[in-house]
């Protein structure tokens, strides 16, 4: 209704409908998007946290495995080696006392070497410790030390590498060779042992072979492998190498390990 200047109102009414649209942030589709975005954000945060925890767990598990390998390859095997030398000493005292002093000196040297090796492993100083010694020399010294005083013919064919491997790869080959030779000395009842180290097209190959009674479990069945073989396989696979163990019970064993020069894991897997 309206009036004029004189104050007269008309008696007829007029109607006009006015609709004011709501802003987008008050619309139902916007509320739906907010709910969807919140749900996706919460899921993303959950998945990110889950991946982080999984990564942490994996890192802890790998570190536990590494520590287990280091303890087995240094402290445990060192004790086993010393025990073997002491048994040989006891036999010498009964049969040849004059040779016992030389055996005792070897045991003392083995104790010192194992002490230093365990300390280096625990403090992770292996790279600094072996920087100036090439792999062939280290393998020669280790094999001679492990086989000292044992009735075993050892044939070493160790090639000095023209292109040295990265320190962690040389360390892996060194540990694997030590473990393999110790297994031959302690379990194989072998009379001959050969250790070969040479460069090949894939990188560097280490071969340890004996004429003993063979292995009791195949390397292709990890659940049946004892800690030493399992540790060797884990070391090699961790740097992308190839681990092959042949020879069953009653047959001579041959261990072949090929390590690539590249830092690309899984190259030879």
The CA distance from 119 to 28, in Å, is 68
Residues 63 and 146 in one domain: no
Alpha helices (runs of H) in the chain, residue ranges in sequence order: 28-71, 77-95, 97-122, 126-129, 135-147, 167-183, 227-238
The residue among 120 and 104 whose pLDDT is bigger is 104
What is the CA angle 176-182-162, rounded to 5? 40
Q: Are 258 and 250 a contacting pair, CB within 8 Å?
A: no
Write the pLDDT tens digit of every residue in 36-64: 999 999 999 999 988 888 888 887 777 77
**pLDDT at position 218, please?**
41
**pLDDT at position 222, please?**
42
Residues 53 and 181 in one domain: no
Residues 150 and 261 in one domain: yes
C-alpha count within 13 angstroms, C-beta hemisphere, residue 112: 5
**pLDDT at position 70, please?**
67
The CA distance from 165 to 197, in Å, is 13
The CA distance from 100 to 89, in Å, is 6
Residues 155 and 229 in one domain: yes
Q: Are 231 and 69 a contacting pair, CB within 8 Å?
A: yes
Work out how many domains the chain is built from and give that number: 2
Residue 229 lies inside a defined structural domain of this protein: yes
Residue 2 lies inside a defined structural domain of this protein: no
Residue 157 lies inside a defined structural domain of this protein: yes
User: What CATH number corresponds to the domain at position 205?
Assistant: 3.30.565.10
Domain boundary among 93, 124, 155: 124
Interaxial angle between packed helices 227-238 and 167-183, expressed in degrees from 0 to 180 and rounded to the nearest 10: 160
Residues 85 and 169 in one domain: no
Question: Which backbone phi and psi does 240 adopt, to 5 degrees?
Answer: 80, 20
The CA distance from 147 to 232, in Å, is 20
Instruction: Report how far Cα 173 is from the mean position of its chain's Cα atoms.
Output: 12
**pLDDT at position 243, please?**
93
Q: What is the mean pLDDT of the chain?
A: 79
Residues 41 and 110 in one domain: yes
Residues 207 and 229 in one domain: yes
Q: How confident is the model at residue 250 (pLDDT cuts 50, 70, 90)?
A: low
The candidate with the shortest Cα–Cα distance to 236, out of 207, 268, 209, is: 268
Write the pLDDT tens digit of every residue in 159-210: 888 888 888 888 889 889 988 888 888 888 889 999 999 999 889 999 999 9
Residues 102 and 160 in one domain: no
Residues 175 and 98 in one domain: no
Write the pLDDT tens digit of every residue in 217-243: 444 444 434 567 888 888 888 889 999
**pLDDT at position 73, please?**
64
The CA distance from 263 to 170, in Å, is 13
**pLDDT at position 117, please?**
66
Give the range of the structural domain holding residue 78, as residue numbers without chain letter.
23-124
Query: Which of 38-42, 122-126, 261-265 is least confident?
Result: 122-126
């Amino acid at each position: 209704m309206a009036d004029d200047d004189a104050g007269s109102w008309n008696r007829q009414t007029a109607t006009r409908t006015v609709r004011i649209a709501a802003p987008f942030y008050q619309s139902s589709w916007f509320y739906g998007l907010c709910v969807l975005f919140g749900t996706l954000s919460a899921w993303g945060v959950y998945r990110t946290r889950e991946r982080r925890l999984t990564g942490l767990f994996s890192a802890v598990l790998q570190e536990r495995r590494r520590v287990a390998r280091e303890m087995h390859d240094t402290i445990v095997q060192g004790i086993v080696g010393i025990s073997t030398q002491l048994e040989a000493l006891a036999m010498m005292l009964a049969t040849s006392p004059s040779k016992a002093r030389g055996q005792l000196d070897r045991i003392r040297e083995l104790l010192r070497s194992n002490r230093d090796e365990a300390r280096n492993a625990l403090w992770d100083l292996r790279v600094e410790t072996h920087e100036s010694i090439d792999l062939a020399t280290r393998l020669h010294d280790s094999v001679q030390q492990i086989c000292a005083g044992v009735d075993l013919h050892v044939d070493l064919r160790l090639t000095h590498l023209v292109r040295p491997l990265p320190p962690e790869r040389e360390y892996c080959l060194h540990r694997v060779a030590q473990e393999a030779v110790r297994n031959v000395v302690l379990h194989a009842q072998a009379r001959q042992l050969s250790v070969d180290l040479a460069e090949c097209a894939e990188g560097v190959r280490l071969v340890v072979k004996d004429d003993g009674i063979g292995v009791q479990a195949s390397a292709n069945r990890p659940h049946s492998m004892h800690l030493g073989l399992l540790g060797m396989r884990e070391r090699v696979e961790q740097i992308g190498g190839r681990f092959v163990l042949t020879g069953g019970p009653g047959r001579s064993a041959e261990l072949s390990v090929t390590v690539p020069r590249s830092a690309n894991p899984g190259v030879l897997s």
